Amino acid sequence: MHASSVSAGNWTGFMNVFNNASGSQGSYVFGSAWGVSDLKTTVSNSSSGTIVGDQLVLEPNYNTYTNSLTGSDADRAFWTDSTDGGVTPGPLGNKWMDANTYEETASIAVPSYTLSGNVTSNNLNTSLYTAKAFIKVLDPSNNYATVLNDSVTLPASGPFIVTSNLALYQGKLLQVGFSMNGLNANPVNAASNGSVGVTITGVPEPSTYALLAFGGCAAASLRRRIRRANA
């Protein structure tokens, strides 16, 4: 379901999968590193060493539904709302997906972090999906538990900003990026489900740029560890 490269430019993919509780997030099933494109995130611009100026388009996940059609009955029953045990795929998805596209830093060494940008396009069906910008801190010494999760829902258009005080989290793992939450989707509904386009305009702390460069080197080994990106 997620065979392509995990990274795209500065960005890494991670998917948390939950059961479908009547169209909302149910019990946790699993989480693992995914290819950024398999999350259904498109990185159209990414500059080495900084995420400022990076452009991304975020969409609901489709590949799980699509791949299940050529899989087993169990695959179709798991990923679609089949009513006959997967013999026939259902018209809709059947798992709640928390898709995370983020830049990762191995060890926090700055007192604060601000992620800001602009929503350049947005026709997302917000009755079905929620897109957010986030700053997260994970604790490697505690099974990568999420100890900070600051986020804002992306607006219909215009600027967004997330700021976190990191004074209490020095040395821990930082993830900065975007999430898309909602059911995995049938690609025939892609037009009505919509998407969100964002451009990152600033990461104001002067020392953050050195932090990002260090994070890019360390992330490759860390992203292979399966961990849950949401508390």
What is the per-residue pLDDT for 118?
98
Residue 220 has pLDDT above 50, yes or no: no
The residue ranges of every structural domain in the chain are 7-222
Write down the pTM of the prediction: 0.86
Element (DSSP H or E) covering residue 58: strand 50-58
What gap in Å lies between CA 64 and CA 83, rounded to an integer? 18
Task: Tell how far CA 18 is from the center of its chain.
Answer: 14
What is the per-residue pLDDT for 19?
98
**pLDDT tens readout for residues 11-66:** 999 999 999 999 999 999 999 999 999 999 999 888 888 899 999 999 999 999 99
Compute how many other C-beta atoms are within 10 angstroms of the C-beta atom of residue 217: 10
Is 7 within 8 Å of 16 (Cβ atoms)? no
Best CA proximity match to 46, nearest among 230, 199, 211, 202: 199
**Region of residue 139 (left: phi > 0; alpha: psi -120 to 50; beta: else):** beta
**pLDDT tens readout for residues 189-202:** 999 999 999 999 97
Q: Is the dihedral of CA 24, 29, 32, 38 positive or negative?
A: negative
